[in-house]
Structure 1
Amino acid sequence: MGGSGGGEKKVEVVESKEWYLAAYAPEGVPTSDHLKLRTVTLSLAVDSIPDGHVAVQLLWTSTEPYLRTIMTGVEEGGLYFPQIPLNKVITTFGVGRVIVSKDGKFSEGEIVVNPFFPVAEYSVVASHFLRKTDPTAGIPLPEYLSSLGLPGFSAWVGIEVLGKPKPGSNVFISACAGAVGMIAGQLAKLKGCRVIGSTGSDNKVKLSKEKFGYDDAFNYNKETDFDAALSKYCPNGIDIYLDNVGGKMLEAVLNHVNKGAHIPVCGMISQYNKTWTEREGVRNLLNIVGKEVKIEGFLVGTYMNRMGEFMKEMEGYIKEKKISSEHKIYNGIESFLEGFASIFSTSNVGKVIIQVAA
């Protein structure tokens, strides 16, 4: 057991800032009316920590689009997770340092990753979801929240497991400079595919081509006729479409799919801030019949049995510099709301991460 160890007197009580849900946000981007920061007193005394738990200092925390779907207070319209109870602390992927351990598998000072870390400077968490990082691997800690985190795993499941790419496949990815899209495009290129993307600015088009290896990309704020844009950029049709946005882009893609196309649906961020009755419909679903298209929504939790395979493959790509990431880093736990809100605009590039402590 880790415990407080040695003869050195440890700090046993800390003041910890944490983000909690104060009010539901049925539509629109959540604001400070909905997400609030409070300070609580937390005991780090070894006797106050249950067996099978560890006390952790949060170093890095992640902003994930799915969090938006559990803050509406409305459990209908395709929202796939239970709603967060009011006054409860937000939890998301994070990287932390073990302060005190009541589990023999974890020791003080180890750096761990958890998909359910409270967005709090300090917390006591069950150890069964924790995964140690490898300090000898030379992988920067933010990568555990991007290429090795939920975005990377989502991209891997969508492209490799469900998309089933072959060399020469025509792949289209929406939100191609976002957290999932930047990894998905690189994975498809590694499989020998031709990869096209859409994104919200000229700068992100440039980044997608120059850093993430996309064959081409377009700015959907300029190419507003999506059907014409796909005719131009995907002249040989689309074999795989990793959908991150839904709405009008999905409808346009269905006019350009090839026979037997696969459409893994990772998310529909363009629709998250609308009540379900106001979301955009898709008028040409009949196309999936004649083209024998497979559309499949997925949650990465269903594929946790593949996590080890994913980690091994992705760590290899990172070490060989075959995968690169772009991070937008906000500093301090106070910036969590600003960082979270930014993922619903075109202002952010890559994965938005908050550095809570050094």
Structure 2
Amino acid sequence: MAGETVSRENKQVLLKDYITGFPKESDMVLKKSTIDLKIPDGTNGVVLVKNLYLSCDPYMRNRMSHTVGSYINSFTPGSPMAGYGVSRVIESSYPDLKKDDLVWGFTGWEEYSLITNPATLFKIQNTDVPLTYYTGLLGMPGMTAYVGFYEICTPKEGESVFISAASGAVGQLVGQFAKLMGCYVVGSAGSKDKVELLKNKLGFDDAFNYKEEEDLAATLKRYFPKGIDIYFENVGGKMLDAVLLNAALHCRVAVCGMISQYNLDRPEPVRNLFTLVSKRVRMEGFMVGDYYHQYPKFLDLVLPLIKNGKITYIEDVAEGIESAPAALVGLFLGRNVGKQVVAVAPE
């Protein structure tokens, strides 16, 4: 019958309750609900989307705990989790987006989402690259690598660059940006396979498995006998302490994240902070959202690199929204190789 509202099953991943320690699959629950594929009457400035790909990112762990005063709100137990994703517009009452537009940005961990703040979404203009790239290489992780390396670290040709968690969504890009600048690049990772990936596929000058090193400071001294000029910080804890002991004069440290600390009740202390004074180190944390106005400039740099084969991007795609809890937990167990993506069930 003409004009009849179409309803669909809408699988959702809910947070069961706030957590402490390492996340478990059982901390999340899959719920089946029903959604009308129609924007509610009288609702303006919103879009209804079909989610195509969801991004698993380490910061999501912080949102699974009850925190006050954080830079981002905690998830609400019993409600769908949320994160970055790639979506197709089903219906829109927002003037800048129309039916069938592709977008990336914050969305629910569910098959269909009603986005009430669509001004935060980025319309995808370039569809001649894999759509999954907009969860990583051309999305938040790509922008994070770009901002941290170019804007925070202000690199120069010939400098020595160290990247922790180097095979992840951000680290693999920082390493390639650094090589394109003519830098000497070393990364750390948590398995032999990831180390080989860094050296043989991503073009790093060298790499090591931090789990096999008893003395991280001595390890870094071996790879950087003249000191580290740039450190892209993804890990924190003992790795940061070891880097500070090996900092070159005027070393720059871009603090992107500290994944080693997210699941600890008490974060590990950093003991070598006086190096900031003695070596005149500049260490700066940043939030990528503060730099999204530079996204067009970022695309101008990265899209030609992709199309000319000068950037390699590794993705780990889990199939079906049912796989999302295991995929997210896997980030903290080192299961993923490259950017962890969840491919939601097709339309």
TM band (smaller chain): over 0.9
Q: Is 1:42 paired with 2:32? A: no
Correspondent of 1:303 among 278, 282, 291: 291
Gaps of 5+ in 2: none
Question: In the TM superposition, what are the counterparts of 1:273-292 in structure 2 within 5 Å?
Answer: 273-275=263-265, 278-292=266-280
> Kindly tell me: are residues 305 and 111 of structure 1, through their superposed partners in 2, closer, same or farther at Cα, counting changes over 3 Å?
closer
1:23 deviation in Å?
0.3
More off after superposition, 40-49 vs 56-65: 40-49
Deviations 1:115-165 (A, max 9, x none): x11011011113212222235x51101111111111111111111100110
**2:97 maps to what in 1?**
106
Alignment match of 2:74 (pick from 49, 60, 83): 83
Q: In terms of mean alpha carbon deviation, does 82-91 or 53-62 score higher? A: 82-91
Kept in 2: contact 1:328–1:353 (CA 8 A):
yes
Deviation at 1:26, TM superposition (A): 2.0
**Mapped partners of 1:220, 1:340: distance in 2:** 22
C-alpha displacement of 1:233: 1.1
Compute the displacement of 1:10 (Å).
6.8
Shift of 1:316: 2.1
1:2-31 deviations in Å (ceiling 9; x for gaps): xxxxx9767622220111222001222243
Match of 1:3 in 2: none
Return the match for 1:239 from 224, 229, 254: 229
Q: Which letter does structure 2 place at the counterpart of 1:270?
A: S
2:14 to 6, 17, 20: 20
Partners of 1:99 and 1:10 in 2: CA distance: 15
Alignment of 1:252-291 (within 5 A): 252-275=242-265, 278-291=266-279
Q: Which residue of 2 aligns with 1:356?
A: 344
Cα distance change, pair 233–102 in 1 and its aligned pair in 2 (3 A):
same
Cα distance, 1:328 vs. partner? 0.6
Question: Normalised by the size of structure 2, how large is the TM-score?
Answer: 0.95
Paired residues of 2:87 and 2:102 also in contact (CA < 8 A): yes
Aligned-pair RMSD on alpha carbons? 1.7
Q: Secondary structure at the match of 2:337?
A: coil
C-alpha offsets along residues 193-243 of structure 1, whole Å, 9 cap, x if unaligned? Answer: 111111111111110111211000001111231111111111221000000
Q: Give the superposition deviation at 1:47.
A: 4.9
**1:188 corresponds to:** 178
TM value normalised by structure 1: 0.92
1:175 aligned counterpart, secondary structure: coil
The one-letter code matched in structure 2 to 1:117 is T
Matched, 1:119 2:112: no
In structure 1, distance between residues paired with 2:213 and 2:164: 13
Quote the offset at 1:305 in angstroms.
2.0
Q: Secondary structure at the match of 1:205?
A: helix
The code of the aligned residue for 1:52 comes to G
Q: Is the 8 A contact 2:39 2:47 kept in 1?
A: no
SS at match of 2:59: helix
Confirm or deny: 8 A CA contact 1:49 1:102 kept in the other structure.
no
Pick one of 214, 218, 232 that aligns with 1:228: 218
3-state DSSP class of the match of 1:103?
Answer: coil
How far apart are residue 308 of structure 1 and its match?
2.0
Whether the aligned pair in 1 keeps the contact of 2:157 and 2:182 (CA below 8 Å) is yes
Give the counterpart letter for 1:350 in structure 2.
Answer: G
User: Contact 1:69–1:80 at 8 Å: present in 2 too?
Assistant: no
Q: CA deviation at 1:112?
A: 1.5
Question: Size of the alignment, in residue pairs?
Answer: 345
Superposition map of 1:65-80 within 5 A: 65-75=58-68, 79-80=70-71
5+ residue gaps, structure 1, are 1-6
1:18–1:39: 8 Å Cα contact kept in structure 2?
yes
The percent identity for this pair of structures is: 40
SS at match of 2:291: helix
Check the 8 A contact 2:47/2:115 in 1, yes or no. Answer: yes
Letter of the 1:124 counterpart: L
- Displacement of 1:39: 1.8
Question: Structure 2: how far apart are the matches of 1:304 and 1:133?
Answer: 14
Q: Which amino acid aligns with 2:227?
A: G
Q: Do the aligned residues in 1 keep the contact of 2:276 with 2:282 (CA within 8 Å)?
A: yes
Q: Which of 53, 56, 61 is the equivalent residue of 2:46?
A: 53
